[in-house]
Structure 1
Amino acid sequence: MKANNLRGTLRTDLPASVVVFLVALPLCVGVAVASGVPAEVGLVTGIVGGLVVGLLPGSTLQVSGPAAGLTVLVAEAVAAYGIGALGIIVLAAGCLQIALGALRLGRWFRAISVAVVQGMLAGIGLLLVAGQLYVAGAAAAPGTGLEKIIGLPGLVGRLAADPQARAAAALSIGVIGVIVGWGRLPARVRTVPGVLVAVVAAGVVTAVADLPVATIDVRGLADVIRPPFGELGRLADLAVLGTVVAFTLIASAESLFSAAAVDRMHDRPRTDFDKELVAQGVGNTLCGALGALPLTAVIVRSSANVRAGARTRASRVLHGVWLLLFAAALPGALALIPLPALAGVLIHAGVSLLPVHTLPALWREHRGEAVVVLATAAAILATDMFQGVLIGLALAVGKLAWETSHVRVDTHDHADGSIRVAIAGNATFLRLPAMLTALADLPADRRVHLDLRGLRHLDHACQTALNGWVAEHNRAADVPVVLLGCDVLAGRP
């Protein structure tokens, strides 16, 4: 029976692991180069994602490795603190993920506003595309997101004047064209990933035509593995700790949202979010100890794994084996990959992060959510990843507070000359101006019956304002206010 199970696993998961390996290889290299670290560092993270995270419980079929979604944040950290500090940041983020998972907080990441996540991914996508356009044009990219956007007209001028820049741009455009076109071919052909075909084709064209474009600088695994324990003192820096928190939150949210998406693609056991968060934390702790990139679950590799017919964790573990064998036996092959080809791969990946298909419908049906998406993306472009996400979360909370704080003020004249004012709903400070305006319009010479029995919630600001209005009205009027449901007003009989 066990032999049959093993044969069945090998029949489905072995081919799937090869497909995932072919998808992961160029992405590991491309994300590393775009992050400002050696290409082999991305392979180290991919290997850990396969051999370590792949063995741990949590999700069955999703695959972990370096992700385009963290590229901008990693590049900012490397630029600010140096490549030596990257490992300790990743290690600390991994330990924090383990703690969050052990405390069973993994499921709470699903409570993050989808609009904020979409805005975050859109902001990342825009920064990634803007930065890689400079690589595609053989130019140095400016430092900030806004500078990258503002500098694009100058990049166009460079393309018009520099033949080397035009050659690099043509190679990037060709890679994007192959990736897009490959996705429209029959399924049997698409078993070979279009990303790999595009990168290999670009390498061949570059070598045959002797194109004047830059290629990857190869160092070897032994030269890029740098335990960061001499950088432990960096964790006393509040700015570094902020980066650790940003890595933790963004990597965890991306991994768990990916898990939810992958679960909808197969009928295997569902993801245990707390165990998956621990698994991601273990992987990041090890990546940090090796001085590698942070890892997350990656939807591109995970969906390729599912579509290739994987049934167990064996496929993702084996893909890590193939990455290790490639890094050990064929590292020189990386030197044949042109940088503009990787730029094309990452531009395509960045565009896929933009909500170009969902945003128009979201604008028509839930305009407030669309505003949060756009504002979060814009904030990331204008500031940085961490601040942009915080701004997006604040907007989402503010939008929720506004939508849930509905209060209704109804006024009725009674035959005896008195006025009944009924206030119902959720009275928060956001609705206080409208509520006080309605009360201020009441005549001072008539008895007022203030009915508060319909209030489901009364915050401190509204409670204080109502008490103040009652006291003021009683001083100005001949007859005191009659309170119904007066128990909601603290300090009143």
Structure 2
Amino acid sequence: AGIGITIAVAQLHIVLGGSPSSSVVDNLRALPAQLAHPQVAALAMSALTLSVLLAWPRIPGRVGQILRTVPGALVAVAAATTTAALASLTLPKVDLPSWRSHALAGLPEGPVLGIAAAVLTTTLVCSVQSLLGAVAVDKLTARRPAQQGRSDLDRELLGQGAANIVSGTLGGLPVAGVAVRSSANVHAGAVSRNSTMLHGVWITVAALLMVPLLELIPLAALASLVMAVGIQMVSLHHIRTVTRHREVLVYVVTTLGVVVLGVLEGVVLGIAMAVGVALHRLTRTRITRSVGPDGVHHVRVRGQLTFLAVPRLSRALHLVPPGAEAVIELDGSFMDHAAYESLHDWQSAHTNRGGSV
């Protein structure tokens, strides 16, 4: 959600005909002035792109079914580019660098500690962003019958590391998996890693053979497309889920941290808040065990049952003799997955040994 908001706010400036800065806070401060003086041509191309993007999946009948084999995003950008060219509109367009002036990278200069810190920071940011993107895509595609399993995160990092070595050697930018293009890929119907590799092939073909055509595309059309994908990354269903599970504080802190400070800092803040919330819940958790007159073992949990309380819960459960009758009483409004798994595994093992729970 934090990445989506960051993307959407930055692209909104281009949609209105301006230029965004690298800081989300600065972009928000400059937004009122940008809204007061929009560039009409850029706004018109953005509106056209969004209209086509929203209308394309809703074309009825067999005609619509055939047309939808072409991704709506591609049609929307093509429509805006054609309109801008025919109307001879003066507005910022894609400006690709020239291959003629490219120079290979040299060895870095400066203090060793400074270079090491730069390398480590780039590694952490790219790794965190790539893994977050992979997990987000897994969630988007989890319910598809044709999905080929979850992402291999080790392979993700190995591929990213190899790509960064090659990119750095050629003088390119750092490489990372990003959620915005992955989300667009999923919405276009992607079901396997072949779609990602094909994405790389298309970029290579476009960069080598289609530069004159790409430089006709209005930046406002691309910005509106990317802004729509960024907005879709803020899931209302997910917000309702974390609110119901009393995790909304972690969600808000992580989102604001990513928006204001950056991806790495936001994730670290989110983890710190999650640990703080779990510790707060743990301080109110009491686990007791007793044996009734009828020989039934009672294990009572009062308060929130999180992963931090699992060791105490396991000790209490293992004191119940094999084959005994046990009653587990949970008196709390929250139980996380680690606690559930521990309880479920013990229940299965205890009943398999002749006991009852």
TM-score by length of 1: 0.51
Question: Map of 1:152-171 to 2, 5 A cutoff?
Answer: 152-159=31-38, 165-171=39-45
Residue 356 in 1 paired to residue 236 in 2?
yes
Matching of residue 178 in structure 1 with residue 55 in structure 2: no
Q: 1:377 pairs with 231, 236, 255, which one?
A: 255
Deviation at 1:274, TM superposition (A): 2.5
Deviations 1:352-387 (A, max 9, x none): 111234313432x123x1221112111223323322
Q: Which has the higher helix share?
A: 1
Deviation digits for residues 335-358 of structure 1 (CA, Å, limit 9, x no counterpart) = 101111111111112111112343
- Of 96, 101, 122, 1:218 maps to 96
**Could you tell me which residue of structure 2 aligns to residue 301 of structure 1?**
185
CA contact (8 A) 2:5 2:234 kept: yes
After superposition, the Cα gap between the structure-2 partners of 1:276 and 1:182, relative to the gap in structure 1 and judged at 3 Å, is: same
Q: Please, what is the CA RMSD of the aligned residues?
A: 3.5
Amino acid at match of 2:185: R
Partner of 1:71 in structure 2? none
8 Å CA contact 1:425, 1:454 repeated in 2? no
How far 1:252 moved relative to its partner? 2.5
Which one is further off, 378-387 or 316-325?
316-325
Aligned partners of 1:242, 1:183: CA distance in 2, in Å? 41
1:228 pairs with 2:105 = yes
Is the Cα–Cα contact under 8 Å of residues 77 and 217 in structure 2 kept in the other structure? Answer: yes
TM-fit CA distance, 1:269: 5.7
Structure 1 CA distance for aligned equivalents of residues 199 and 266 of structure 2: 35
The answer as to whether partners of 1:221 and 1:328 remain within 8 angstroms in 2 is no
Q: How many residues align?
A: 288
Deviations 1:113-142 (A, max 9, x none): xxxxxxxxx222212111111112222324
TM-aligned CA deviation for residue 158 of structure 1? 1.3
- Inter-CA distance 326–141: structure 2 relative to 1 (3 Å threshold): closer
Q: Cα deviation per residue 1:16-54 (whole Å; 9 max; x = unaligned)?
A: xxxxxxxxxxxxxxxxxxxxxxxxxxxxxxxxxxxxxxx
Kindly provide the amino acid, as one letter, of the partner of residue 209 in structure 1: A
Distance 1:233 1:255 in 2: 35
Structure 1 contact 145–382 (Cα < 8 Å) conserved = yes
User: Residues 400 and 322 from structure 1, CA distance in 2 versus in 1: closer, same or farther, beyond 3 angstroms?
Assistant: same
Identity in percent: 28
Does the 8 A contact of 1:288 with 1:294 survive in 2?
A: no
Alpha-carbon distance in 1 for matches of 2:153, 2:282: 29
Task: Extract unaligned runs of 5+ from structure 2.
Answer: 289-299, 304-311, 317-357
Distance (Å, rounded) in 2 between the aligned partners of 1:382 and 1:366 = 25
**1:174-209 CA-partner distances (Å, limit 9, x unpaired):** 212211221323332211111111111111111111
| 1:271/1:239 CA distance change after superposition, 3 Å | closer
User: Is the Cα–Cα contact under 8 Å of residues 425 and 456 in structure 1 kept in the other structure?
Assistant: no
Query: Which runs of structure 2 are paired with 1:14-413 in the superposition (5 Å)?
Result: 122-159=1-38, 165-185=39-59, 186-221=64-99, 223=101, 227-231=104-108, 236-237=113-114, 238=117, 241-259=120-138, 261-262=140-141, 264-265=143-144, 266-268=146-148, 271-290=151-170, 291-296=172-177, 298-302=182-186, 304=188, 306=190, 313=194, 317-363=197-243, 365-367=244-246, 369-408=247-286
How far does the alpha carbon of each residue in 1:38-88 deviate from its partner, in whole angstroms, 9 at most, with x for none?
Answer: xxxxxxxxxxxxxxxxxxxxxxxxxxxxxxxxxxxxxxxxxxxxxxxxxxx
Alpha-carbon distance in 1 for matches of 2:81, 2:313 = 71
d(CA) in 2 for partners of 1:269, 1:407: 37
Query: How far apart are residue 402 of structure 1 and its match?
Result: 2.4
For the residue of structure 2 that corresponds to 1:212, the secondary structure is coil
Q: Using the alignment, how far apart are the partners of 2:199 and 2:284 within structure 1?
A: 53
For 1:245 and 1:289, locate their aligned partners in 2 and report how far apart those are by CA, in whole Å: 19
Instruction: Provide the residue aligned with 1:41 in structure 2.
Output: none
Q: Identify which of structures 1 and 2 has the higher relative contact order when contacts are C-alpha pairs closer than 8 Å and 6+ apart.
A: 1
Quote the offset at 1:253 in angstroms.
Answer: 2.8
Unaligned runs of 5+ in 1: 1-121, 160-164, 411-422, 427-452, 458-493
In 2, are the aligned partners of 1:215 and 1:337 still within 8 Å (CA)?
A: yes
Task: State how 1:402-481 maps to structure 2 within 5 Å.
Answer: 402-408=280-286
CA distance in 2, matches of 1:232, 1:244: 19
1:310-348 CA-partner distances (Å, limit 9, x unpaired): 7x84x6545544443333222211110111111111111
AA aligned to 1:344 is S
2:344 alignment partner in structure 1: none
Q: Distance in 2 between matches of 1:286 and 1:400?
A: 42
Distance across 2 between alignment mates of 1:269 and 1:181: 32
Q: CA deviation at 1:276?
A: 3.6
- Deviation of the 1:399 alpha carbon: 1.7
Structure-2 change in CA distance of 1:293 and 1:344 (3 Å): farther
